[in-house]
A and B are shown apart, each in its own frame.
Chain A
C-alpha cells in the first residue's frame, strides 16, 4: 500500500447489547504523518452509532459535537463582523473623499 501522509479512517467499535437492541459505535480518525519523520498527529472523534432494533430495522444516529458547532458559529460571527466593518470603512473612506455622492 502506498504511503499516505494524510489519511482518514472510519472504524467500528465493539457492539453492545442493550435490552433487545444492539449498538455499534463508529469513530473517524484523521491521521497525519510525514515521510522520513518519526511522529505525527491523530485526531479521533465519534461520528455515529448504528442501532439495530429487535425487529431487524437499523437506525444510524449521528454524534453531534455541539461545542464545536457553537465555536464555529462564533468564528463565523467574528469573520462576518470583521468583513462588515471592513466594507463599511472602505465605503466611508470613499464617501468622505467624494468618490460616492
Chain B
C-alpha cells in the first residue's frame, strides 16, 4: 500500500467519523421529540390564570451511507481509489390539540379544533361519496 492510498484511507475514515457524529447528533435530537417537553409548551401566567398549550408532534427521518474501494484490473496500472457517500431526510409535523387552563375556579382543558384540516377532510369525504353515487347511478342506468 503506497503513501497516497494510506492518506486517502485516513481522509475517508475521518470523514466517515464526522458523518457518523453528525448523524448521531441528529438522532439524539430526533429522540428528543419523544420527550414530554415537546408536547407541552411553557406555562403562560395571566393574573390568577395559568395557560399551558398542548400539541401533538410527529417526526420521521432516515439516513443511509456507504463506501467502497476499487483498483484497476490492468496489472500494469497502479490506479486504485475509494469513495463514500451518504444522505438522509426527515420531516416534523406539529398540531395544537388543546389548551389547559388553571384558574381559581378550577382546571379545564379546552380542545383546539383545526377547522382547515376538518374542512379539507370533509370536502374529500364529500367528493368521494359523490363519485361513488355518480358511479352507482351510471351503473343503474346501463
Contact = CB atoms under 8 A, between A and B. Distances in A.
Interface of A: 9, 11-14, 16, 18-19, 21, 23, 25-27, 29, 31, 37-46, 49, 51, 59, 61-67, 70-71, 74-75, 77-78, 81-82, 85, 88-89, 92
B139 A25 contact: no
7 contacts: A25-B54, A26-B36, A38-B62, A41-B59, A46-B40, A65-B111, A78-B128
Interface string B26-56: 0100110111111110010000101010111
A9 B114 CA distance: 26
Contacts of B125: 74-75, 77-78
Interface size class of B (residues with CB under 8 A): 35 or more
Which label, helix, strand, loop or mixed, suits the secondary structure of the A interface? Answer: strand
A27 B88 contact: no
A67 B113 contact: yes
B102 A19 contact: yes
Contacts of A14: 37
A13 B40 contact: yes
Given A45-B39, A78-B125, 15 more contacts: A18-B103, A23-B52, A25-B52, A26-B36, A37-B62, A38-B23, A41-B59, A44-B56, A63-B109, A65-B97, A71-B118, A81-B129, A82-B132, A88-B136, A89-B139
B48 A19 contact: yes
A23 B30 CA distance: 27
Contacts of A31: 31, 34
**Most chain B beta-carbon neighbours within 10 Å: one of A65, A75, A77:** A65
